[in-house]
Amino acid sequence: MSAPASNAGYDEWLDALADGEGYALVCPDGHGSLPPRRVCPECGSTALSEEPLAETGTVETYSVVHVAGPRFADDTPYVNAIAEFGPVRLTGVLRGAEPATDAVEIADRVAVGDRVAVGVEERATDGDPLVVFRPADGE
Partner 1 sequence: MTDVRVAGVGLTQFGSHPDRTGRDLFATAALRAFEDAGVPREDVDELNYGNFMGALAEHQGHQAPLMAEAAGVNCPSTRYEEACASAGVAVREAVRTVRAGEADVVLAGGMERMTNLPTDEVTEGLAIAADDLFEVRAGVTFPGAYALMATAYFDAYGGGRRDLAHVAAKNHANAVPNEYAQYRKEVPVEKALDAPPVAEPLHLYDACPITDGASALVIVSEEYAAGHDVDAPVAVTGTGQGTDRMALADREHLARTPAADDAADAAYADAGVGPDDVDVAEVHDCFTIAEVLALESLGFFAHGEGIGAARDGVTTAGGDLPVNLSGGLKAKGHPVGATGGSQIAELTRLLRGDHPNSERVADAEVGVAHNAGGTVASAVVHVLEVAE
Interacting residues with partner 1 (CB under 8 A): 7, 10, 33-34, 41, 60-73, 75, 78, 80-82, 88-93, 101, 103, 106, 112, 128, 130-131
CA dihedral over 70, 76, 17, 54, signed as positive or negative: positive
- Give the nearest distance from C-beta 38 to partner 1 in angstroms: 16
Q: Which C-beta is closer to partner 1: that of 125 or that of 136? A: 125
- Give the nearest distance from C-beta 35 to partner 1 in angstroms: 9
Q: Which C-beta is closer to partner 1: that of 35 or that of 135? A: 35
Is the CB of residue 63 less than 8 Å from the CB of residue 38? no
Q: Which C-beta is closer to partner 1: that of 94 or that of 138? A: 94
- Give the nearest distance from C-beta 82 to partner 1 in angstroms: 5
Distance of CA 10 to the CA centre of its chain: 13
Distance between CA atoms of residues 101 and 17, nearest Å: 29
CA dihedral over 7, 52, 21, 125, signed as positive or negative: negative
